[in-house]
Amino acid sequence: MKKESTENYQSIARELAKAFASRASHWDQQREYCWENVDELTAAGLMGMSIPREFGGKSASFFDVVTVVEELAKACTLTARVVVEANMGGISAVMAYGSDEQRAMAAPIVLAGDKPAICITEPEAGSAATQMKTTARRVGNGYILDGCKHWITGGGVSKLYLIFAQVINEEGEEEGIGGFLVRCDPVKGDLPKGFEIVSRERTLGLCGMPEAELRFEGLEIEDRFVVKPAEGFRRGFAALMNAYNSQRVGAGTIAMGVAAGALEHAKRYMLERHQFGRPIAEFQGLQWMLADMDTGVHASRLMLHEAAKSRGPNNSQFPDPMMSARAKTFATETAIKVVSDALQMFGARGYGSEEPLERMYRDVRMFTIGGGTAQILKTQVASHLLGIKAPQTRDGYRNLSNA
Ligand code: FAD
């Protein structure tokens, strides 16, 4: 089979984005998942494009994916997010660390249009993810899950869930954190016993994407659905979290794409809008703002592309953690500023719903929070620069100062 070129993927995305732009406000206002767009993305082969050919995908590179994501994000943040999660994060963890059976099970679900959900965060374990309380107790030939997760993107629409839990062996000892796969169809009310979608958050932006609280009570998982990297549970969480580096590059790209879209709107409006008898494009104050916006988007794109093409240490299949962390924090913080400046250029019109700026402004805000906050990622960068493992616990800091 001939490999699609990056330009080809990009032009498919650009073409689809025209209709996505016209529907973006609908999903936002109605708080509705973009099923119609998902059908078109599926038909165009963009859902699961990164899945290897042997499992029915296109073996597209992460770089190919980010070029698609940028085009989609200019038009509809929600749709771009669906594509990131159908190619990076949860699905890429399964494709890299899952068994053949798990890969053969997960790939067709995504290729048919699913955006898998990754379930890590809990009410008492956000940035401190390893302090999660959800347990997976070893019973017979499987595990029983009990616990709660919140802010799970896609909870209620996704058909594939990768749930992280503390593994407890038959002796009652903690073995580390493992990943557990659940297949279901919540839209049709088809959920396994012990798996409940409790509620949905009311969010500031990206309103068409459900962010759900999930509860597990005696949820039975067979051994064959446990994603266990070769390192075992003790060190396996770190390996599984490696996959998150691709998701971070994807998230940064969505933010950059939204900013690039806002920049286009701002250019158009500067030439269109007249005040004091001339186009506002003639005011140097706005020209310099525009130049800074463009520079920020351009620098973000370069960093994200570099990260997307990179590979982490130890033969990792995923982008380099440092490059991903740097690119995500820079691109997301820059995008929030760029979109805010673009809205400013529209004056009152930018604040209203006639233009897409107010939606883009709300949408872009989440990207310094979800998928590792800016503070946590900067800590990761600083740890690398200083050559220390920056401890996050109170005891850890005491140990560091005693060192
Ligand atoms: P906290 O960890 O409570 O942090 C509060 C503040 O303290 C933040 O500003 C943080 O940066 C700062 N902080 C914490 N520790 C440190 C430190 N050591 N040094 C400096 N500052 C620190 N999770 C999932 O598992 N799956 C999902 O699909 C998912 N989707 C999400 C979608 C959205 C829209 C959002 C907003 C979140 C999503 N999350 C998801 C959760 C997300 O990963 C967490 O919100 C994030 O890890 C931060 O956790 P927290 O919100 O509990 O904040």
User: What tens digit of pLDDT does each residue of 93-110 get?
Assistant: 999 999 999 999 999 999
Q: Which atom of ligand 1 is nearest to the CA of 129?
A: 47
| The CATH number, out of the four listed (3.10.20.30, 3.40.50.300, 2.40.110.10, 3.40.50.2300), of the domain defined by the range 117-231 | 2.40.110.10
The rounded Cα 216 to chain-centroid distance in angstroms is 23
For residue 315, the model assigns a pLDDT of: 85
Helix/strand/coil for 271: helix
375 alpha carbon to ligand 1 midpoint, in Å? 10
Domain chopping of the chain, boundaries = 6-87, 117-231, 243-390
Q: Which atom of ligand 1 is nearest to the CA of 373?
A: 11
Instruction: Tell me if 6-87 shares its fold with 243-390.
Output: no
Binned at pLDDT 50, 70 and 90, residue 401 comes out as very low
Does 1.10.10.60 match the CATH number of domain 243-390? no
Helix/strand/coil for 185: strand
Residue to mutate, 85, 91, 127, 241, ligand 1, most ligand atoms under 8 Å from C-beta:
127
CB 245 within 8 A of CB 318: yes
254 alpha carbon to ligand 1 midpoint, in Å? 18
For residue 403, the model assigns a pLDDT of: 38
What single DSSP character describes residue 270? H
Q: Is the pTM higher than 0.85?
A: yes
Spatial distance between the Cα atoms of 117 and 91, rounded to a whole number of angstroms: 9
162 lines ligand 1 (CB under 6 A): no
370 lines ligand 1 (CB under 6 A): yes
Q: What is the identity of the amino acid at 121?
A: T
Binned at pLDDT 50, 70 and 90, residue 398 comes out as very low
Q: What is the CATH number of domain 6-87?
A: 1.10.540.10
Residue nearest to atom 23 of ligand 1 (CA): 121
The tens digit of pLDDT for each residue in 28-47 reads 999 999 999 999 999 999 99
Spatial distance between the Cα atoms of 15 and 42, rounded to a whole number of angstroms: 14
120 alpha carbon to ligand 1 midpoint, in Å? 10
For residue 240, the model assigns a pLDDT of: 82
CB 290 within 8 A of CB 283: no
In this structure, how many other beta carbons lie within 10 angstroms of the beta carbon of residue 5? 10
Q: State yes or no: pLDDT of 321 exceeds 90.
A: yes
Q: Measuring CA to CA, which residue among 117, 93, 112 is closest to residue 46?
A: 112
For residue 393, the model assigns a pLDDT of: 60
